[in-house]
Structure 1
């Protein structure tokens, strides 16, 4: 009887180990990649009414089979406003608060949410996720009066006196836009792109946004002194162009583009997006970057999407 009981325990242990192994194998074989993207014709007009058969997807040159496809205009939005409040930028948004509120009133529906994060050497949550445009404006105004009373994200004393753009992008995605499904994720940056104190670098910020399928838009206000921009501002402009391009968003020159016009173009883009998913044929979770290209079959169409994703060793699910 005792022998039979020991045999039973051993069989149960082996069964548990086998089930765990099966589960681990199953997880390692599933690499679902989801991409949100927009399509434009040669004139820049959004192309509507397209279906899964109009697109081909390639990962590192290898064709992938589309598992799901949809027009995403009806999915809820989750938007983050990242506002640079360093000395060179803190007056820009003040002059355009009404434009910001008008944009949010136009784009937000009851199921949509937005948050506002102000950053310099600290990152203060001016307003948590809300569906109220007025709530965002109130939060930004409260920041102006008493910034120190607002919650701080990812505090780091080594940033003293600097501007932590990459940390703001990383924290905005990680804290407010990561995880879950069934909504479109967007960051809108108001900054000149100056970066001098982040713990995270540009690659990490882009990777965090790419992994969460976050579109990054930037409204760039670059001051001109004596008829030219400085080398630092040129570098900031290049950073924003790269950051938005790698995530499928766009960069707007706030100095030469009316902010209401930029908001209008962002709103149109958010209403005219598609989404597709595929199971990657490359099962290795090796931390390498996978370049993803979406091609539209109709001639003359241009697809704007994130450049790819990192096959994280800790989490193989981009």
Structure 2
């Protein structure tokens, strides 16, 4: 009889533990489902002189979705928060005389920023190729950069699509893509509209740098620092080849749909390396000066596009993505 009581007691304990485990799993699953609904937005705030504004609180911000104010559920600004950065580097044939400058600048950029940041390196010409998976080993990344040889066409859209897909595997919640190219797409399978849609549903910021072979770039009438450009510029071979133009319209679309910023490096034969390093320093500082805001949307799974507007009560300049595409239920 005593043995039977002990056996029944053990069965009861086992059943209770099993029920407890199920309840814990249900709670965790519910938390995961709720967290998936959270919309995170990376926000850059600057004053009238373009200087980053620190030390704001969540009470300084107003977040609107489709014109309706939302409650901020998550807020942070931490200069030491680790970042996952995807580096997309154009290695098409037209980059031949520029690749060393770009590689050297990227290498110094990687060596300088936070030790916990991680990177992957993807090159693109005829197709996107992952040269280095996520790592925080600077020497590994430097070695991969030094092995690059430019050749082939420009699969810009394919590279961005693959880069956005890859950055989703990152270890860190804050994600950015650095894109360096000197041309426009000539060989992608992906459509621009599909790539932009993928960007809209992703939580990341994109920083494209266009390196123009001439002072003129498609979609721009100004150089890298905002000075007006002259009329038609002729190179050594005469009329400019359209494939050699940087398509700033596309690069700006990548940036604006993610809350990032696009840069144009014009034709400056002296000090071009210094210019790209200056741009990379600006990007590095911006990543350390941003705020992250999160809110739970009223309609998280309707499969529709929803506009986002973020502003400060003081009326500062705010840069963030303009909306997101909700996932379908």
Pairwise TM-score range, normalised by the shorter structure: 0.7 to 0.9
Q: How far did 1:27 drift?
A: 4.8
Residues 1:106 and 2:97 are matched in the alignment: no
Distance 1:29 1:216 in 2: 23
- Give the direction of change, closer, same or farther, for the CA distance of 1:303–1:181 in structure 2 (3 Å limit): farther
| 1:48/1:272 contact within 8 Å kept | yes
| 2:199/2:254 contact within 8 Å kept | no
Distance 2:170 2:134 in 1: 15
Residues 94-140 of structure 1, C-alpha deviations (whole Å, 9 max, x = no match): 1243322211111131x210111010122112211111333222112
- Give the direction of change, closer, same or farther, for the CA distance of 1:142–1:234 in structure 2 (3 Å limit): closer
Secondary structure of residue in 2 paired with 1:34: strand
In structure 1, what is the equivalent of residue 72 of structure 2? 66
TM-score, L = length of structure 1: 0.78
Distance 2:138 2:240 in 1: 34
TM-score, L = length of structure 2: 0.75
Residues 171-215 of structure 1, C-alpha deviations (whole Å, 9 max, x = no match): 11212x115775311111111351133222223222323322111
Residues 68-119 of structure 1, C-alpha deviations (whole Å, 9 max, x = no match): 101042221111110111112243231243322211111131x210111010
In structure 2, what is the equivalent of residue 186 of structure 1? 176
The match for 1:210 among 174, 178, 200 is 200
Q: How far did 1:273 drift?
A: 0.7
Secondary structure of residue in 1 paired with 2:180: strand
Distance 2:170 2:139 in 1: 26
Distance 2:50 2:207 in 1: 17
In structure 1, what is the equivalent of residue 17 of structure 2? none
Q: Which has the larger radius of gyration?
A: 2
| 1:73/1:274 contact within 8 Å kept | no
| 1:101/1:134 contact within 8 Å kept | no
The match for 1:275 among 287, 292, 296 is 292
The match for 2:44 among 38, 42, 47 is 38
What stretches of structure 2 of length at least 5 have no aligned partner? 1-25, 215-232
- Give the direction of change, closer, same or farther, for the CA distance of 1:93–1:232 in structure 2 (3 Å limit): closer
What is the RMSD computed on CA atoms of the aligned residues? 2.8
